[in-house]
Chain A
Amino acid sequence: MLRILLINDTPRKVGRLKSALTEAGFEVIDESGLIIDLPARVETVRPDVILIDTESPGRDVMEQVVLVSRDQPRPIVMFTDEHDPGVMRQAIKSGVSAYIVEGIQAQRLQPILDVAMARFESDQALRAQLIARDQQLAERKRIELAKGLLMKMKDCNEEQAYTLMRRQAMSRQQKLIQVAEQIIAMSELLG
């Protein structure tokens, strides 16, 4: 069963989304108005998906979406009356997985949620690959730097420097990057 967190950013007391969800057989585990710290709420409630019902997403809503995407990434579906393509683009950029304008029909909810979840998963995978790529590059630069320092200190060639670093790392059950950082730190100390 999908755990749904519903944010009702409309003046209505009971949102139109709640009744559509209930009619479609979904269970809403938590419903609230727009709150100041949405990531904290997400951490406590641990929903599978966040639905935001808003007449027109303002700056406050977008800000909360950005924060959730950064700290507690979840699929976010936004239901709104706002037609403006600029606002829609802004919402997608903030981290909304699906942006649905008008017309909440119970029978359409399941496919909408399915698409949002799939989209979210592929975005997350892409993000992880990008982070890995950045980290690789950064580590590679640090290792190169340490190798250069060691070549100077030991008056040895590139391959010998790598072998020395690797042996040191392996016999201390460390990764190469850890030994590289130690060499850089030591060289700064003696600098």
Chain B
Amino acid sequence: MSDQVGNSQATNPLAWVNGSDAPEKSSLDLGFMALSDCASLVVAATQGFAQPYGLTLNLKRQSSWAGLRDKLVSGELDAAHSLYGLIYAVHLGIGGVAPTDMAVLMGLNQNGQGINLSQGLQQQGVTSPEALERKVHQSRTKLTFAQTFPTGTHAMWLYYWLASQGIHPLRDVESVVVPPPQMVAHLQAGRIDGLCVGEPWCASAVQQNQGFTLATSQAIWPDHPEKVLGCTQAFVEQYPNTARVLVMAVLEASRFIDDSIENRRSTAQLLSAGDYLDAPLDCIEPRLLGLYNDGLGNHWQDAHALRFHAGGEVNLPYLSDGMWFMTQFRRWGLLREDPDYLAVARQVQQLDIYRQAATAVGVAAWGEEMRSSQLIDGKVWDGSDPAAYARSFRLHALADDVVRHALR
């Protein structure tokens, strides 16, 4: 990896003098939330994937996304399992924190989130998108939906899905923020009517007879971007070699998880431990293997279930993935003006580091910058005209003064 030398020279003269591409920092604190999609970090840290690179990964479970964000920005965490939208919101200074330059090192997973409705709605026969739309527009009291962070992926999936069914997410329903592991308790207490969250918490709600899964996130966007390995730009600049070997270790762990069904089963067992998800195996394992039971009697093997690697397609930090979240911030009035979508994405998505790491561990997918997808409403997103895309939706809040409302 002689092409590293030029990079390191700018930021760490010593590394260049020593001709070393060893990590500048040998022990890293990694934040994560108790969700099935943190798997690659847990596997990398506990199963000896980082040691050969001279790296020790210390896992630090966080109790809320806001707390994780604050520790990431303050430097108490070196890097973290993060929502795509969380990294971009901090970078753009949305949501009550001063803007801090942030970095997406790699994607950690695609798919595997869900929208559930409560048992109460189920008993009233609200078990289809059409029934929900009628219920929302006919009743006087607004239904309350929970997501996990105001600018996070779950808020964006919830908004996108509701809007695709003709429900305005900021006017027709109330939305509240609840940390993922507390979702089921809130359903049980009747404080919320629906939710959007990552697994295993949708499956857990179904298992505990607290409602049903109305839509999976992969039904909104098959193979959508979800969690990323995020850090500050300052971390990347100060520790470029560390960032690269961290990506290498997590890439190898991701490949290992997706390698066989036995490896996935063992991953589910590991995740269920008290230190990680602290949830029963039978809530975690089925959907980690793609086996869905929606709680309405439907069972299926999902073609776009949670995945961690797919030859690197999952992990490549596509510019178009990063830009999509900005288009949705714009659509819902979280951004009052268009940012320079492409320039911001280029700054945040660490394509160079990813390419070096992917090449070093023999992962094929690293060449593309954009990808094309068709979402649930039939629209195609390929990253080509983000400003026009953000304006192209029938339901939106482009000009509304809803920022405060949505950020509550």
A→B interface (CB under 8 Å) = 128-129, 132-133, 135-136, 139-140, 143, 162-163, 166-167, 169-177
CB within 8 Å for A170 and B56 given contacts A129-B25, A132-B26, A136-B51: no
B→A interface (CB under 8 Å) = 25-27, 43, 46-48, 51-52, 54-56, 256, 259, 262-263, 265-267, 269-270, 272-273
Closest A residue, CB atoms, query B42: A170
What are 7 inter-chain pairs, A to B, with CB distance below 8 A?
A: A132-B26, A136-B55, A140-B51, A163-B256, A170-B46, A174-B46, A176-B46
Q: Which residues of A contact B27 (CB under 8 A)?
A: 128-129, 132-133
Contact B263 A143 (CB under 8 A): no
Contact A177 B48 (CB under 8 A): yes
Q: Which residues of A contact B56 (CB under 8 A)?
A: 132, 135-136
CB within 8 Å for A166 and B256 given contacts A140-B51, A171-B265, A176-B46: yes
Q: Which applies to chain A's interface (DSSP): helix, strand, loop or mixed?
A: helix
In the complex, what distance in Å separates the CA atom of A143 from the CA atom of B54?
A: 14
Contact A173 B270 (CB under 8 A): yes
Q: Which of B25, B259, B267 contacts A170 (CB 8 A)?
A: B267
Q: How far is the CB of B90 from chain A (nearest CB, A)?
A: 25
Contact A140 B46 (CB under 8 A): no
In the complex, what distance in Å separates the CA atom of A135 from the CA atom of B46?
A: 14
Q: Which residues of A contact B265 (CB under 8 A)?
A: 171
Q: Which of B46, B48, B51, B262 contacts A167 (CB 8 A)?
A: B262
Given contacts A136-B51, A143-B51, A166-B256, 18 further A-B contacts (CB under 8 A): A129-B25, A133-B27, A135-B56, A139-B51, A143-B48, A163-B256, A166-B48, A166-B266, A167-B263, A167-B266, A170-B47, A170-B267, A171-B270, A172-B269, A173-B269, A174-B46, A176-B47, A177-B48
Q: Which residues of A contact B51 (CB under 8 A)?
A: 136, 139-140, 143
In the complex, what distance in Å separates the CA atom of A135 from the CA atom of B56?
A: 9
Indicate the member of A128, A163, A167, A171 with the most B CB atoms within 10 Å.
A167
Q: Which residues of A contact B259 (CB under 8 A)?
A: 163
In the complex, what distance in Å separates the CA atom of A135 from the CA atom of B54?
A: 10
Q: How far is the CB of B339 from chain A (nearest CB, A)?
A: 36
Q: Which residues of B contact A143 (CB under 8 A)?
A: 48, 51
Contact B26 A140 (CB under 8 A): no
In the complex, what distance in Å separates the CA atom of A170 from the CA atom of B272?
A: 10
Q: How far is the CB of A112 from chain B (nearest CB, A)?
A: 27
Q: Which residues of B contact A174 (CB under 8 A)?
A: 46
Q: How far is the CB of B22 from chain A (nearest CB, A)?
A: 10
In the complex, what distance in Å separates the CA atom of A162 from the CA atom of B47?
A: 9
Q: Which residues of B contact A140 (CB under 8 A)?
A: 48, 51-52
In the complex, what distance in Å separates the CA atom of A167 from the CA atom of B263?
A: 6
Closest A residue, CB atoms, query B24: A129
Q: How far is the CB of A140 from chain B (nearest CB, A)?
A: 5
In the complex, what distance in Å separates the CA atom of A175 from the CA atom of B43?
A: 9
Contact A171 B46 (CB under 8 A): no
Q: Which residues of B contact A173 (CB under 8 A)?
A: 269-270, 272-273
Q: How far is the CB of B382 from chain A (nearest CB, A)?
A: 38
In the complex, what distance in Å separates the CA atom of A169 from the CA atom of B111?
A: 27
In the complex, what distance in Å separates the CA atom of A177 from the CA atom of B46?
A: 8
Closest B residue, CB atoms, query A130: B26
Q: How far is the CB of B271 from chain A (nearest CB, A)?
A: 9
Q: Which of B26, B52, B256, B266 contacts A171 (CB 8 A)?
A: B266
Contact B25 A171 (CB under 8 A): no
CB within 8 Å for A175 and B46 given contacts A133-B26, A136-B26: yes
Q: How far is the CB of B241 from chain A (nearest CB, A)?
A: 14
Contact B48 A133 (CB under 8 A): no
Q: Which residues of B contact A176 (CB under 8 A)?
A: 46-48
Indicate the member of B27, B256, B267 with the most A CB atoms within 10 Å.
B27
In the complex, what distance in Å separates the CA atom of A15 from the CA atom of B174?
A: 67
Q: How far is the CB of B200 from chain A (nearest CB, A)?
A: 16
In the complex, what distance in Å separates the CA atom of A69 from the CA atom of B102?
A: 37
In the complex, what distance in Å separates the CA atom of A43 from the CA atom of B26?
A: 30
Contact B48 A170 (CB under 8 A): no
Q: How far is the CB of A94 from chain B (nearest CB, A)?
A: 26
Q: Which residues of B contact A177 (CB under 8 A)?
A: 48
In the complex, what distance in Å separates the CA atom of A162 from the CA atom of B266?
A: 14
In the complex, what distance in Å separates the CA atom of A133 from the CA atom of B265?
A: 32
In the complex, what distance in Å separates the CA atom of A105 from the CA atom of B46?
A: 52
Q: How far is the CB of B282 from chain A (nearest CB, A)?
A: 15
In the complex, what distance in Å separates the CA atom of A19 from the CA atom of B56?
A: 47
Q: How far is the CB of B35 from chain A (nearest CB, A)?
A: 17
Contact B26 A163 (CB under 8 A): no
In the complex, what distance in Å separates the CA atom of A173 from the CA atom of B25?
A: 27
Q: Which residues of A contact B256 (CB under 8 A)?
A: 163, 166
Contact B52 A169 (CB under 8 A): no
The list of the 10 closest CB pairs from A to B, nearest first, reads A132-B27, A170-B266, A176-B48, A173-B273, A170-B270, A171-B269, A175-B46, A167-B266, A171-B266, A132-B56
